[in-house]
Chains A and B, each alone.
Chain A
Amino acid sequence: MTSRIVNLFCGYTRKGCSNESLMDLQTQQKILQFETFVNDVLKADLAKLAEKLDVKNADVAEFLQLKSVITTFQNTNVEKTGFKTKVDIGNNFFIQAHIPDASKILLDVGLGHYVEFDLAEALIVINVRIKLLEKQIAHLRKVIARTNAHIKLILIVIRDLQGIKENNE
């Protein structure tokens, strides 16, 4: 990412100083290039990253909810008595379901695989997952901030180029 931007600037500085009329042309070309780069690359990246971040956040929320559910199971002693719930069979049609044994839970470990855990084990796994997700989220936030910075930088450069031109005129 950064190397691409550096290339962009290098191209400009190398060719730039030779001729004034050429420079005008080149600046115009460069401005156009910067703008397209901002719009087509950086902003698209930003959108993707934002989407990823959203997914991670949702996952974290899910896990947090699951954690709280499991803790309530533990606290209310439901794991021995079992409980009743409603199962959605599609389009908000609910059928009553009875869970006799609430001591075991199957967790999604990724790629559609489920592993059976005790409630305590599940809590540990969930905590690990949450930690992992939080790290990923932090990384994503960093990347997003950097992209934003790039966008800002290029916008400043474009403004500078146009400002210089205006001063010359």
Chain B
Amino acid sequence: MYNIVANNATMELEQMKNYQRTLLNNVFAQELEQNENQVNTWNDYRNKYKKVIEGLEVYPLSVSENCMVPIGKRALMKGKLIHTNEILVYLGDGYFAKYSASQAISLCKRRIAWADKMLKDLEAERNLYEMKQYLPLKHDIFGEEGRKDILEHWNENKLDEWKILHRQREKEYRQKLVQLREKEKTDICTEEDLFKRLDELELEEELKDEICRLEAEREDSYNDLKEGEVYDESEEDSSDSDEITTETIEEELQKLKDIQTNKITYNIPDLNVDTIQDKILDTNVKTNEHLDLTVNSSQEELKNNHSSESKEGISKATNAKKTGRVSFIEPCITKNTENEEILISSEKSCFISKQDKTHDDSENEEDIIRIEFSHSSHIPNISTSSNTEIQSPIDIYKLFNAPKSILKRSPNDMIPNQIAPLLNEESSTDTENEVEHVKHSIYNSVRKSNQGKSPRK
């Protein structure tokens, strides 16, 4: 039933549409017909005037012209035209004007021009109607109902205005950027700011590294767990590890400070450090043994890693730090260039895998203490900061060990040495004593390296 009704409705709709279309076409046809009639009348009018002009051009040439004068429509009388240069023109509404022949001609021309204009308009009208008639057929305007009109909310003027505004804003933005940059530069130029910034960055860097390491490990465990283990365990693990990471970070932070305070004490006696290192290595061996025992499956290993981390995260951290510190101290005595290399590698040493450590340990069991550093598979996230800001040790290396130009140094520019004397003044202004000491030691080493290099070049 509904279908039929719907069909009927659609039929009616279609009929309506057809009716509308025919109506429209009829209207257009009528208009076109009218238009044609008007065109014809205007053409006649125009042609008549042309004929009149022809007559007016001829008659004034002679004084009188023989002609048949019409008396009504049905009769003629012989006569002649006189006063051929006096033409009485009917202006309309019962008024006449007396013109000379040339004036009459000009009047005719005016009227012809007007007729031409009217014809032009009529042609335009006809084109319009024809367009309207054929457009629906051509573009199928009545075809579908789901079509939408194209609306342009933006015109070209608006767009231009917007472009101008946009340019202004861009300029302002650029200027602000430049100002900001200048500010930053000036901030860093003062040594105090620089060193404060350095401290912050160093701390940040170390923290970041720790977090990165922990996260990497966690990710590894996660991936391994996904292979075979039950999800519950993995989730517990992850939650545990999360807690651990936060704990370890806090602990490590404390350790860092401790180490920094201790550094000076370690600086002087080398033996002391060695003994401590041995102790720590021993613990390491223990842990590694523990690991070796439990290496049955990768998952278990990783779990144990976690557990060992949780248990001895602090010791490991200290271990890592101490190895780093050892590297700090040794080069001070031996070589300056090495010092810096180890500075960088010390960061990497944090990420040395367990296997490497076992290897180290096996060697450490002998009396000769050799620490071999090898690149871990982990890619260290060394931020590639091209600025003068020092965010990581490698930046320091880059800053102070930049390849120097072949050109002879003029006495005016002392770029590398400029910073060194400034650093001396800075130490007194620093608020934190602990950090100050550390700063001093780092600074000393850096300066030494510079001094060591400068004579070579």
Tell me the A residues contacting B by CB distance below 8 Å: 59, 62-63, 65-66, 69, 84-87, 89-102, 104-108, 114, 122
0 or 1 for each of B35-68: is its CB under 8 Å from A? (1 = yes): 0000000000000110110011001000010011
Q: Are A97 and B104 in contact (CB under 8 A)?
A: no
Smallest CB gap from A96: residue in B: B83
Q: Are B56 and A93 in contact (CB under 8 A)?
A: yes
0 or 1 for each of B76-89: is its CB under 8 Å from A? (1 = yes): 11111111101111
Interface class of chain A by DSSP: strand
For this complex, 12 residue pairs linking A to B, each with C-beta atoms less than 8 Å apart, are: A69-B72, A86-B88, A93-B56, A93-B89, A93-B90, A94-B89, A96-B88, A99-B78, A105-B75, A106-B75, A106-B77, A108-B73
| B87 in complex: contacting residue of A65, A94, A97, A104, CB < 8 Å | A94
CA distance A98 to B51 in the complex (A): 23
| A92 in complex: contacting residue of B68, B77, B84, B89, CB < 8 Å | B89
Smallest CB gap from A85: residue in B: B69
Q: Most B CB atoms within 10 A — which of A62, A89, A96?
A: A89
B452 within 8 A of A: no
Q: Are A87 and B67 in contact (CB under 8 A)?
A: yes
**Set of chain A residues within 8 Å of B59, measured between Cβ atoms:** 89, 95
The tally of residues in B whose CB lies under 8 Å from a CB in A reads 33
Tell me the B residues contacting A by CB distance below 8 Å: 48-49, 51-52, 55-56, 59, 64, 67-84, 86-90, 96, 104
Which 6 residue pairs spanning A and B have beta carbons closest together?
A: A92-B90, A99-B79, A94-B88, A106-B76, A90-B52, A96-B83
- B94 to A: closest C-beta gap in Å: 11
- A62 to B: closest C-beta gap in Å: 5
CA distance A122 to B75 in the complex (A): 10
**Set of chain A residues within 8 Å of B73, measured between Cβ atoms:** 62, 108
| A108 in complex: contacting residue of B51, B75, B79, CB < 8 Å | B75
Extra inter-chain contacts (20) besides given A93-B89, A107-B75, A108-B74, CB under 8 Å = A66-B74, A69-B71, A85-B69, A86-B88, A87-B69, A87-B70, A90-B48, A90-B55, A93-B52, A93-B88, A93-B90, A94-B90, A94-B96, A95-B83, A97-B80, A98-B64, A98-B79, A104-B78, A105-B77, A114-B76
